[in-house]
Amino acid sequence: MGNREQTMRAAETGAVTARTSLVSVIAPVYNERECLEELVRRIDVALQGRPCEIILVDDGSRDGSWGEIVRLRALYPAVRGLRFSRNFGHHVAITAGLDHALGEWVVVMDSDLQDQPESITSLLDKAAEGYHMVVARRLGKRHGPFKRSLSQLFARAMTWLADFEFDASVGVFRVMHRDIVDAVCAMRETPRLFTAMTDWVGFSRTSIDVTHGARFAGETKYPLRKQVALAVRGAIGFSEKPLEVLVTLGFVIASVGLTYALVIAVRALQGGIAVLGYASLMSAILVMGGLAIATTGIVGLYVGSVFAQTKRRPLYLLRASEGIETSVLPPSRVN
């Protein structure tokens, strides 16, 4: 039985542990130079005894992170590096890691050590009980109250919009079986929301609770602006509900307008209309104007994402790699 079949059997029956197969750990890196050595050291300790590769994807860092990745590769042979030609974003960096990972099991985690390398073995052990994917639910309140409420709001909105169960305490940290990785790699769509994409593919999944640590060094790479952009991308990219809401809203407003017109017509026939109504006219115009602009904007976002998709550009461009044979994109995975 091949290695791959063995692991599939493990995923189905839970009878065999996944200990023998290669584990790929993917971490996107954006200006995280000071975190990398500690990250690699702790992953290396956590995965002692298991064959593993650590794929660090430099998402256009400007702080010398790439130099650090090259240096670490000389110290830890398991380290591999991919360097983007510019900043393409967290979720695209994860995609690049997935494209190049060879493992039967693939772990995705942030590189700032908020996701703790020590939790990887718990994720793998849980997966070996017979799951295709185990996601980490982050305990601890390491993000401030504002950021947490924003995540919760986003999770609620997405659950409603996309009919998936979004959980605010789940980030990208998870382990996935090769079947899920292959399915996600086959999805070349933009915009990309890694968490939603892994949910969409199905298979068996569960979660475990892990401790969410403090950032090891540096500061967050997700300011409010990027968080909002991610939320909008998520809503537009994974749901047609905003369009349904708009259509419903249009009908509701039109019916109200029609009823009001009837009322006025009846009053006029009864001869009871005084020339008043400036305020109501103005508010109607403003409300309708605002709605028209918002509506066009939302439709525009959809058209924009269709436009982006039709250009069929590669999702990312590589500038360099360490320890990985690459073309710009693996040919089978170009759109």
Binding residues (CB under 5 A) for Mg ion: these are 110, 112, 114
Q: Which partner, Mg ion, ligand UDP, none, binds residue 33 by CB below 5 to 8 Å per kind?
A: none
Q: Which residue lies nearer to Mg ion by CB, 188 or 215? A: 215
CB 211 within 8 A of CB 119: yes
Based on the shown chain and the rule CB under 6 A, indicate whether residue 191 belongs to the binding site for ligand UDP.
no
**Shortest Cβ 59–ligand UDP spacing (Å):** 4
124/175 Cα distance (integer angstroms): 7
E-strand ranges in the chain read 23-29, 52-58, 79-84, 105-108, 133-139, 170-177, 205-211, 318-322
**Shortest Cβ 64–ligand UDP spacing (Å):** 14
**Shortest Cβ 112–Mg ion spacing (Å):** 4
- Among 39, 86, 62, smallest CA distance to 96 is for 86
Based on the shown chain and the rule CB under 6 A, indicate whether residue 199 belongs to the binding site for ligand UDP.
no
* Structural tokens at position 235: 């809503």
Residues contacting 148, CB < 8 A, separation 6+: 141, 168
Which of the ranges 14-22, 26-34, 229-237, 253-261 carries the binding residues for ligand UDP, by CB under 6 A?
26-34
Q: Which partner, Mg ion, ligand UDP, none, binds residue 198 by CB below 5 to 8 Å per kind?
A: none
Q: Which partner, Mg ion, ligand UDP, none, binds residue 91 by CB below 5 to 8 Å per kind?
A: none
**Shortest Cβ 323–ligand UDP spacing (Å):** 19
Q: State which of positions 115-144 bind ligand UDP (CB under 6 A).
A: none
237/162 Cα distance (integer angstroms): 9
Q: Within 58-193, where are the H helices?
A: 65-75, 90-100, 119-128, 145-162, 178-186
Q: Which residue lies nearer to ligand UDP by CB, 19 or 42? A: 42
Among 30, 131, 173, 238, the residue binding ligand UDP under the rule CB under 6 A is 30
- Among 235, 252, 253, smallest CA distance to 297 is for 235
CB 160 within 8 A of CB 166: no
**Shortest Cβ 303–ligand UDP spacing (Å):** 25
Among 44, 53, 68, 110, the residue binding ligand UDP under the rule CB under 6 A is 110
* Alpha-carbon distances of 97 from 27, 180, 330, rounded to whole Å: 8, 14, 12
Residues contacting 37, CB < 8 A, separation 6+: 68, 72
Which of the ranges 128-136, 218-226, 239-247, 261-269 carries the binding residues for ligand UDP, by CB under 6 A?
218-226
Among 111, 169, 195, 198, the residue binding ligand UDP under the rule CB under 6 A is 111
Q: State which of positions 57-86 bind ligand UDP (CB under 6 A).
A: 59
Q: Which partner, Mg ion, ligand UDP, none, binds residue 216 by CB below 5 to 8 Å per kind?
A: none
Among 6, 17, 87, 204, the residue binding ligand UDP under the rule CB under 6 A is 87
CB 170 within 8 A of CB 195: yes
Q: For binding to ligand UDP (CB under 6 A), which residues are involved? A: 28-30, 32, 59, 87, 89-90, 93, 110-112, 114, 220-222
